[in-house]
Structure 1
């Protein structure tokens, strides 16, 4: 069935008798994704059904509509229903994380202290706790939490939430296996997400990560996914993401594969990386001296710039011990194993 990509001449308010998942199903069978997203977004913001006011926050979050999510959070906060107010507390913490209004550790602590029994909300809390563990590189806690999350989702009755929550799990498993250097399994989840995700605007992130999984394989595959990510970011006007792709991801991949023609960036560390690829060690050293934050990647660049084994060993250890990142730990390890000129 060919879906119509034109904007339908319907009044969303005429469909408020439908539940959110019924409305989404109705649209998906007739219209393309862009129409579905826009009309469902409006449905979420205008519904007076208390349950859909809650579930609408999950949908808006999943699709990356954070400004609209902020509006719906405030609507739930103002509700007289205690359940809606409790949901609003959780999603306000989610917005705090997205807009960086509070440190990750603070948000994580507050989420861990919440007393939540309703599986529909408990699943969302677990998803954000797991995501925060990813952000602070505590991958060791994830296996048990992911299994607990699966069990919680089994008790969720709403079909739309089940679909969205399972998509979140696949996203988490993609990164989990990628960081464990189980690349084939990670890509399995990555491609599954590309085939199943109902919000194409969010697939740009999947393509970025897939591009990085190929840095030890081949340039063309890596570049292919990055180009896909860039096109999606342009289409949906994701300016911050587009800047990251063009100034961090693209120069990183080009420098790594020594494909240097007409590659430019405003990112200092990636400027240094490009100089390293050209064997301009002095210029790389000067640029790296400007950086105030020392990360495992910074140490990797410093090790190459100064041909210093200590920096590379420190980078490797930081990737493993501080981030449980066995994939990117291969970067300094590769230099250590292949360069006999290190001091």
Structure 2
């Protein structure tokens, strides 16, 4: 479930008056609204009050920027309302952006639509830097879904040029978050973890989206798995605390059942660790010397993932399986970071890799 579904927010009359007093013919830009609310309210209250402003604002510009704000903060049902409002606008730019956000929302919520087909066939009725940036972002997302992370480099220069033409402050901030998300994934998958962390930390500093924070905190923790148990667990435990604070049950389950057991098993710190996940159970069995039991569990799995092949290679001490896992991480998933797991085991066995 999304953040908006897991947490409702009751406002005082004073809080609502703060928002509604800003709405009208001379209303401030959305960025200024956020700044004013930041001085008075906590992060969640600020988010929800800004949502109210977005849904009720009068200016065309705030209505447009509001769609980006709601989308990037995971407020999808509210975004649908604002999309419908913009679709009825007499402003051609608002109408066109409503079409784009409608496609993005459908992709996010219903997993429907070919993103590369949409962007390649899209005809610009309005020449505007916001539209141009969104289309470039969507193209890169489409290639990332295909695990073609290197395609980011093809569009990076054009994207940077177009971003310079965005004159709305809040749009620039959220487009920068989008770019940082792409950069941190790009560098992480290339096993350039120090660079990836820089972009991940920037996202944490600038987003109000608690689900996004959980994702990034977990990923940051995993970047330390070859270096530092305490740093890895600190980030993951912070993600878990965040998930509990906002009742994000999907993240609570995933962190407790998959992420924490994975890190603890890798560092062989298994006291009190339990999991329902079969793959992680096998991982724990490996670390406790019960390799035959681990192999039995893993052999029952069909269409093994590269990670499952890696675990089975450890269980039966198979260089062939470890080598296959290594090559699959690179060739099938374009993931040079995860490829380090079988690579380190192969190197420990004296196998030289290119």
Establish whether TM, by shorter chain, passes 0.5.
Answer: yes
| CA drift at 1:154 | 0.5
SS in 2 for 1:115: coil
Kept after mapping to 2: 8 A contact 1:252/1:270: yes
- 2: CA distance between counterparts of 1:66 and 1:272? 38
Contact 2:177 2:203 in 1 (8 A): yes
State which of 52, 56, 80 in structure 2 corresponds to 1:42: 52
Whether 1:13 and 2:23 are equivalent positions in the alignment is no
Q: Give 1:102 deviation, angstroms.
A: 2.2
What whole-Å deviation, never above 9, does each CA across 1:299-333 have from its counterpart, x for those lacking one? Answer: 21222233222221121112222222111110011
Q: Please, which of 217, 229, 232 is the counterpart of residue 222 of structure 1?
A: 232
Shift of 1:108: 2.9
Q: Distance in 2 between matches of 1:295 and 1:92?
A: 34
Return the structure number with greater relative CO, CA threshold 8 A, min gap 6: 2
5 Å matches for 1:130-145?
Answer: 130-145=140-155
On the 8 A contact 2:84/2:98 being kept in 1, the answer is yes
Which residue of the partner structure matches residue 128 of structure 1?
138
Moved more, 120-129 or 246-255: 120-129
Note closer, same or farther for the CA distance 1:293–1:53 as it changes in structure 2 (3 Å cut): farther
Which of 186, 196, 203 is the aligned partner of 1:186? 196
Verify the 8 A CA contact 1:90 1:111 in the aligned structure 2.
Answer: no
> How has the CA–CA distance of structure 1 residues 284 and 66 changed in structure 2, closer, same or farther, with 3 Å as cutoff?
farther
* Structure 1 residue 39, shift from structure 2 partner: 0.4
Q: What's the offset of the Cα at 1:267?
A: 2.0
Residues of 2 paired with 1:195 and 1:263: CA distance? Answer: 31
Partner of 1:171: 181
Match of 1:323 among 311, 321, 333: 333
Please give the per-residue CA displacement for 1:171-228, whole angstroms capped at 9, x wherever unaligned: 2211211111112212222233333445455322221111010010011110000001
Measure, in 2, the Cα distance between the counterparts of 1:202 and 1:222. Answer: 18
Instruction: Confirm whether residue 113 of structure 1 aligns to residue 121 of structure 2.
Output: yes
- Give the TM-score taking structure 2 as reference length: 0.86
What SS does the corresponding residue of 1:99 show, helix, strand or coil?
Answer: helix
User: Residue 87 of structure 2: which of 77, 86, 89 is its match?
Assistant: 77
2:247 is paired with a residue whose SS is coil
Q: How does 1:1-343 map to 2 (within 5 A)?
A: 8-11=14-17, 12-17=19-24, 18=27, 19-102=29-112, 106-116=114-124, 117-199=127-209, 202-339=212-349
- Structure 1: gaps of 5 or more residues: 1-5
Task: Describe the shift of the 1:295–1:129 C-alpha distance in structure 2 as closer, same or farther (beyond 3 A).
Answer: farther
Partners of 1:43 and 1:153 lie apart in 2 by 25
Distance 1:75 1:292 in 2: 48
The whole-number CA distance in structure 2 between the counterparts of 1:322 and 1:32 is: 44
Q: 2: CA distance between counterparts of 1:282 and 1:77?
A: 61
Alpha-carbon distance, 1:66 to partner: 2.1
Tell me by how many angstroms 1:292 deviates.
3.9
1:3 alignment partner in structure 2: none
CA contact (8 A) 1:140 1:324 kept: no
Distance in 2 (CA, whole Å) between partners of 1:257 and 1:35 is 39
User: Are 2:243 and 2:252, in contact at CA under 8 Å, matched by a contact in 1?
Assistant: yes
Work out whether residues 146 and 169 of structure 1, in 8 Å CA contact, stay in contact via their aligned partners in 2. Answer: no
Secondary structure (helix, strand or coil) at the match of 1:139 reads coil
In structure 1, what is the equivalent of residue 6 of structure 2? none
Q: List runs of 5+ in structure 2 lacking aligned partners.
A: 1-10
How far residue 231 of structure 1 moved from its aligned partner, in angstroms, is 0.9
